[in-house]
Amino acid sequence: MCWYFGQEMTEDIENIITKYRQGRREDLIPLLQEIQERLGHLPEEAIIRVGSHLGLSTTKIYGLATFYDQFRFIPSGRIHISVCHGTSCFMNGSQGIIDKLTEELKTAPGQTSRNGNFSFDIVTCMGGCYHGPVITVNDEYHIHVSQDQIPELIRKLKYIIEND
Ligand code: FES
């Protein structure tokens, strides 16, 4: 994840778009994925630029991109947590984890905390159904997570941020 703005970000967007110079509409999702991988989210500037390159309206791109829960339109927190809410994890208590994270972080799914330290989102199956509920903390997998573990997890993560 990168925290930068302005010229450097514009150059990164342009460099990625250059790789898709044919401007085919089927390139939309891989293009957005690559930009998000580089920038950590999809800023409005990227949506506008991709739209003009592929001949798609920004409304259309937002509409398609929000269909995929992998895309973020605001920067992630320093620590980003993803909670699997697929069927198996749901059956094993993922809703309780989501509720506990919302309470502990005072942040709704899909949002970033005011101080920029935390963000979390809800995703569908992470491929570890037998080990659910599954969450990731900055891409590190945690399995068999229970909602009772969340306050301690957040306490440890806050400690890491404060002492970083
Ligand atoms: S449903 Fe959560 S890992 Fe598959």
Ordered domains of the chain (ranges, CATH): 7-67 (1.10.10), 79-162 (3.40.30.10)
Q: Taking the chain (164 residues) in consecutive chunks of 10 residues, what is each chunk's mean pLDDT? A: 64 94 92 91 94 95 86 90 96 97 93 92 92 94 97 96 90
pTM of the model: 0.76
The residue with tokens 């309206």 is 57
Instruction: Give residue 5's pLDDT.
Output: 54
Q: Which residues neighbour 131 within 8 Å (Cβ) at sequence distance 6 or greater?
A: 143, 144
Instruction: Give residue 2's pLDDT.
Output: 43
Q: Which atom of ligand 1 is nearest to the CA of 128?
A: 3
Q: Does ligand 1 have an atom closer than 6 angstroms to the CB of 89?
A: yes
What's the gap in Å between 69 CA and the centre of ligand 1? 14
> How many beta carbons lie within 10 A of that of residue 88, not counting itself?
16
Contact 105, 113 (CB under 8 A): yes
Instruction: Give residue 7's pLDDT.
Output: 78
What's the gap in Å between 113 CA and the centre of ligand 1? 26
Instruction: Give residue 145's pLDDT.
Output: 97
Instruction: Give residue 9's pLDDT.
Output: 83
The per-residue b/e assignment along 21-32, b for 16 or more CB within 10 angstroms, e otherwise, is eeeeeebbeebb
